[in-house]
Structure 1
């Protein structure tokens, strides 16, 4: 057996006899690889397990939609948007899970205004996955002054957001 330098092997492969020989050597290898890469499998009639050890519970983590790759629960996000939609939005970041409203003056009271910030903190649909802050200002002597909100205001808004998120999950996101 003679040892050829690499350039001789390349020249031999490019010769008229070289490609035929190379094709004959590569054919079994390519056939073996093609047999391994088939995308169809024989139907065994068995169902894939659907437990939570092997698959993620999509409904608890916000469903399967555009927010699937973010740290935000889609149902909480949509519940917060739906609940706060009566106020003008200053900013809404679906990926970061932050909703900032602009100042809203209720029609019944022209001398006070409110602003709400909602943070979606988790992919889980739980009460500790959302934090709401409410700001209130009253008009005094022509200037807006910060005033405290009623103690139950934050919990009421949080509860309404959670209720709406659970409704969305029960309805399949519609």
Structure 2
């Protein structure tokens, strides 16, 4: 099968244009280095905590959930109080968007038993139902009275922080 020269050139140009359209332009409105470092979700937290939005990477991202409208549903007083009360435990993982703090084993001051904690702040309200605490020792689960005492200490500290902010 032979093609004449103008038809061959048109076919090659059409193939090149089709391949160029498949590549996409991710750096629209963003520097080239920032576009290459963008995560697949389309949002990246900067060093100062500001959010920089990037173009989506494929057509299928349009049908997925939009990560640009995320809100933080965590009570800041309970969050800060949890870190304050459990400051003797080494922090292993923190996720302020889901409200989860995971710590490693540590011994409280004046105590001989080591504990680790998982804290889940579920609601933006300053309420006991917003806090879910799980304590564990090296020997297994901790008594419910101990868990309740730590929860009460966190909630009391959260109320103190809120009262202090109101006076400012």
With structure 2 as the length reference, what TM-score do the two structures score? 0.53
User: Per-residue displacement from partner, 1:74-93 (whole Å, max 9, x unpaired)?
Assistant: 11111111111111111111
SS in 2 for 1:168: helix
In the alignment, the residues of structure 2 paired with residue 109 and residue 168 of structure 1 have an alpha-carbon distance, to the nearest angstrom, of 26
Of 81, 88, 93, 2:90 maps to 88
Of 152, 157, 160, 2:145 maps to 152
Work out which structure has the larger RCO, using CA pairs closer than 8 Å and 6 or more positions apart in sequence. Answer: 1
Counterpart in 1 of 2:125?
A: 124
Which protein is bigger by CA-based radius of gyration? 1
Gaps of 5+ in 2: 1-49, 51-70
**1:150 shift after superposition:** 2.6
**1:151 shift after superposition:** 2.8
User: Per-residue displacement from partner, 1:45-93 (whole Å, max 9, x unpaired)?
Assistant: xxxxxxxxxxxxxxxxxxxxx9xx4010111111111111111111111
How big is the alpha-carbon RMSD for the aligned residues of Structure 1 and Structure 2?
A: 2.4
With structure 1 as the length reference, what TM-score do the two structures score? 0.51
Instruction: Describe the shift of the 1:103–1:73 C-alpha distance in structure 2 as closer, same or farther (beyond 3 A).
Output: same
Runs of 4+ in 1 over 3 A off after TM superposition: 105-110
